Chains A and B, each alone.
Chain A
Amino acid sequence: MLALAGFGAVVWAFAAAGVLPVMLGELGLGTVGFGTFLGALGGAGSLLAVEQQRAAASLLVNPEAVGSARLAVAVGAAAWVAGWLALSRGLTPRAAVARADSAAKGKPLFPRLANSRDFHWGTLAAYGFGLFAAEVAFVLVYLLLVGKASTGGAVTGGLAPVTAFVLAFGGSVGVAFGAGFLGAANSRRLSVPEFTTALLYFGLPVPAFLTAMHHVGWLMLNVGYKLREVVYLSSLLGESRPELGYWLVFAGLVLATFLGINLGFVATASGRFDLRTSYESFIASRHVAVFRPRLVIGVFLVLILGIVPPLILLAIVSAADAAVSRTRIKRLGLADPLLAAEALNEQRLAAQTPTAMMTALSVGGVGVGVMALVIVLSVMSGFEADLQKKILGTNSHGVVMKYTPEMPEYAEVVEKIHRVRGITGATPFILNEVMVSSEGNISGSMIKGVDPKTVGSVTDLPASLGCEAGRPCQPMEALEDPTKIRARRLEPGVGEGAIDDTPAKPPSPLIRDPMVELPAEAPDDSVLPGIVVGKELAASLRVVVGDRINVVSPLGGELGPNGPVPKSRPFRVAGVFYSGMYEYDSKFVYIHLREAQTFFGIKGASGVEVKVDDVDDARGIMKRIYDALDGYPYRTKDWGEMNRNLFAALRLEKLVMAIILTIIVIVAAGLIVATVIMLVLEKRKEIAVLKALGVPDGGIVKIFLSEGLQIGVVGSSLGLVSGLAWCLFIEKVGIKLDPQVYYIPALPVRIVPLQTVLAVVIAILVTFLASVYPALKASQVEPVEGLKSE
């Protein structure tokens, strides 16, 4: 335990030593008392860290690492102490000038100045403990909800990870938000020093500790084992990099605290709890004037039609408009010069101010960001859904296997599986690798023995053979009964070694009997068992329905004079399937389960494929099956595990795209910062007047926050509407893709409501946060400064 605490301290001192002095230096917190206090605390932390490092050294395997770590800690501690010494002495010390006493010597200082406090300990406590409690609560609540892990790797009891994560994260976000709110309400300001201190001293240690856990062996052994569910969750979050997961959650909690601080400040900045915004939003809406139909329609057109055409249109229209009004004023002036002057003045008044242009620009910027986010995320979801549909169509949602290659009791297993809740189908299968050869070509393939009666309840094989649900499927029946295959009758003289046989004969017992099976001697004109091949494979083998192909397997053959002889067997093509996945269409062939049994000498099946009603809960349902089968020697896998690489890559791609597009939104937020700052500069006089009329500082903050929010809301709504319009356009009209390259004929689109709403919410949050700084600046305008006339 002691060593554990020591390591926390190392990481904490380390992170702090590198970052803190710089950050706080920039913040200009040269307060002597504050600096000394933190310096002392940091120094103690570093000392403790060094001591603990020594204690921990015995546990570590590599002594060299200890040495370098100790050196690093020493350097870090030195930098830390030096940084704080510099800070505590003041960053830019000035020589004290001897000043003469003023007339006011001995009089009481202005009370509000005298009573102001530089550092609120209560606020620090609220922020620090809030953040720390949120982190610890997240880990503990998650562990509690998800239940303890069993030895089999699967989880027993508790909630699904996603549900548990949502609950735990929601709860801890609430804690962080509440702590921020209370802290800011206590100090009635944003309290940057308190927040920074809380973040570095109470917030950072937990994720830093978790990250360190992955790099220190004994820590992982002692602590990581207990936290393995958290590690698993984090690797899901961070795309198999748990460290990223920790920091993502940490960032979320910090953001929640920050939002809480903002809201707490806004609500109580003026000394009383007040979230009403009646006159604030009235004033703000007049300032930004963002609901003007001209602006809204203009931005919408820009978003829908692309940027350039509407601008050209605008240029033409305004040029024509200007020309017309010039002519009108001139004619008026020829009759009455003063009326013309008045008209000119009216025109000048109607002209847009730079701030109005900036407002339009920032609305457009936010709109572009949200639109891009909505479109790209929808298209990527479309790709993902398309891929998932094809993979899940060809494959099952999950498989049940045994630790042995054979499952002779598959019928019982299927029966047990059917009793599990959430199962819509189960079918036995045998999977093996073989070579398939035709007269013209040869190809390596995956061969799958299926039960034609039940395979349709699990995969889309009948559908990809062109069969409709609920109707007899000719190729499937042919698989069941090979006599139904119509052999191809070629024109004489084509000379391809064509097979010319008649179908009506009953199956020969020779072929059914594995003992006397002689593959090469199977008569051409006999009834051959059916095989279903993929469209691409059929093309490369140059076969069509009715053709004969040979399946060659190195396994299960007899021993010849020169070692094992590969086993070969002829099949007749009963159907050609098209799944849409090149991988499958070029690799897979299907035969009847009993043919596979005899061909590979397998008793029963190699496993059972399962289809579930809720694809997203496949993991949970497979776990229920696992429990229903009493675990070992059975094992289960869901589709996510079977295709982990593919979906992980796709999700990572989506994550990266989302991050890139969020950067667009952040750039747009920069525009909002600029716009609101311009508004503040332009409105200095008005701010002063409003303060003179009795608007408290909190009210001014609310006015300008509301201005940023209005820009954000209008921009996001326009972006959302135009993004959805674009998605609809892509879906209905379609953007053609080269099927040879992408294997899909058109760009797929799938609008996921949750992620679309999330994109809009994130955009609005970002714009809200962007206007915090200018709003604070606005509230700091002194009434007298603005009121200095002229």
Chain B
Amino acid sequence: MTAPFLEVVDVYKSYFLNGKRIDVLRGVNVRIEQGELVSLIGASGSGKSTFLHVAGTLDAPAAGVMRFKGQSVFDLNDAQVAEFRNTKIGFVFQSHFLLPEFTAAENVAMPALINRRERRATMTRARELLERVGLLHRAEHKPGELSGGESQRVALARALIMQPALLLADEPTGNLDPSTGEGIHALLREVNRELGITAVVVTHNEVLARSLPRRLRLVGGQVVDADAAPPADAAPVGAPG
């Protein structure tokens, strides 16, 4: 049997509020197979974003193991982790987090430039991606001149330029109105279907979550199958973050 695509074992993580330790992840165990489109729901402050950051190697857990195609990610050194983020993972955050000094096309191209790909070819590819998300006419605009939905689509294009294996989206529609948000969701589903990119979408939008094939719920510091556990006894672990 081959190793699972992503396997998270016994991950513990705390954060501190006014000097008090809050154990937000308490032994998280998750397996995600290649090509899955997973939603992660949970109450505010239940640790959804923390889990996503740990899974995306942006945050160091206190303990635990994460294996990506059988390789232990937490054992990598700084350069290897950076390369892992660069080539294997695409992030989309609640805010678009585009770099304000660069045009939309340059923002999309940035991960490839960080990978030291050739400049001209990269910019061409960035334009193709912008065309795919329907923003080619905005390619030379700076983020300050883009609307929220446009920015989020640029951010999605940026997450895709390195053709990552795993797309991690942290409430990508949290700041958008429902109709704009639905556009982003449609794009996510399309990406998953057409490019075969495994995606984990954190959301507290139950409607969106129900539209995705697999649903996980973070409750009590642990990840459970959302369809198996009733949401009623899910008490928030800590104060709202």
Contact = CB atoms under 8 A, between A and B. Distances in A.
Given A107-B63, A110-B61, A698 B12 contact: no
Contacts of B61: 110
B228 interface: no
B83 A694 contact: yes
A279 B63 contact: no
Given A110-B64, A790-B95, A694 B82 contact: yes
Interface stretch (A240-248, A622-630, A685-693): A685-693
A698 B60 CA distance: 18
B115 interface: yes
B232 to A, nearest CB: 23
A787 B99 CA distance: 13
B205 interface: no
Contacts of A111: 72, 74-75
A615 to B, nearest CB: 53
Interface in B79-118: 79-87, 91, 93-95, 97, 99-102, 110-111, 113-116
Interface string A102-116: 111001111111000
Contacts of A357: none
A453 interface: no
B187 to A, nearest CB: 19
Interface in A257-313: 269-272, 274, 276, 278-279, 282-283, 286-287, 289
Contacts of B83: 694, 696
B58 A691 contact: yes
B56 interface: yes
In this complex, the member of A110, A188, A693, A695 whose beta carbon has the largest number of chain B beta carbons within 10 angstroms is A693
Nearest to A115: B75
A744 to B, nearest CB: 53
B186 interface: no
Given A113-B60, A271-B80, A693 B85 contact: yes
A686 B93 CA distance: 13
A103 B95 contact: no
A279 B77 CA distance: 21
Given A694-B111, A694-B115, A787-B53, A272 B60 contact: no
Contact of A272 (B58, B79, B95, B110): B79
Given A103-B26, A696-B82, A699-B114, A271 B60 contact: no
B23 A692 contact: no
Contact of B62 (A109, A286, A685, A787): A109
A270 B83 CA distance: 10
A286 B113 CA distance: 14
B7 to A, nearest CB: 15
A692 B91 contact: yes
Nearest to A273: B79
A692 B85 contact: yes
Interface string A637-663: 000000000000000000000000000
A688 B95 CA distance: 13
Contact of B10 (A107, A113, A698): A107
A740 interface: no
B97 A689 contact: yes
B194 interface: no
Contacts of B58: 688, 691-692, 783-784, 787
A790 B61 CA distance: 23
B62 A110 contact: yes
B27 interface: yes
A188 B23 CA distance: 32
A789 interface: yes
B59 interface: yes
Given A102-B23, A692-B56, A696-B79, A686 B116 contact: no
Contacts of A269: 78
Given A107-B10, A270-B82, A694 B62 contact: no
Contacts of B27: 103-104
Given A278-B113, A287-B101, A108 B63 contact: yes
Interface in B174-217: none
A547 interface: no
Contacts of B4: none
Nearest to A696: B82
The interface size bin for chain A is 35 or more
Nearest to A107: B63
A269 B81 CA distance: 13
Contacts of A783: 53, 58-59
Nearest to B241: A788
B43 to A, nearest CB: 18
A691 B87 CA distance: 13
Contacts of A585: none
Contacts of B144: 349
A693 B86 contact: yes
Contacts of A270: 77-79, 82
A782 B95 CA distance: 17
B93 A110 contact: no
A697 interface: yes
Contacts of B75: 111-112
A287 B234 CA distance: 45
Q: Which residue of A108, A278, A686, A787 has the most chain B CB atoms within 10 A of its CB atom?
A: A787
B78 A784 contact: no
A269 B101 CA distance: 26
B87 A694 contact: yes
Interface in A96-127: 102-104, 107-113
Given A110-B63, A689-B97, A784-B53, A696 B111 contact: no
A264 to B, nearest CB: 15
A272 B76 CA distance: 12
Interface string B35-78: 00000000000000000010010111111110000001011011
B116 A279 contact: yes
B115 A107 contact: no
Nearest to B98: A689
Contact of B93 (A102, A286, A696, A789): A789
Contacts of A697: 78, 82
B12 A686 contact: no
Interface in B159-180: 162
Given A103-B26, A104-B26, A112-B74, 19 more contacts: A102-B14, A104-B27, A104-B62, A108-B63, A109-B62, A110-B60, A110-B61, A270-B78, A270-B82, A287-B101, A691-B85, A692-B56, A692-B97, A693-B86, A694-B111, A696-B81, A697-B82, A787-B93, A789-B93
Interface of A: 102-104, 107-113, 188, 269-272, 274, 276, 278-279, 282-283, 286-287, 289, 349, 685-686, 688-699, 782-784, 787, 789-790
6 contacts: A103-B12, A110-B62, A111-B74, A694-B83, A694-B114, A696-B81
Interface of B: 10, 12, 14, 21, 23, 26-27, 53, 56, 58-65, 72, 74-75, 77-87, 91, 93-95, 97, 99-102, 110-111, 113-116, 144, 158, 162
In order of increasing CB-CB distance, the 3 nearest A-B pairs are A694-B86, A271-B79, A696-B82
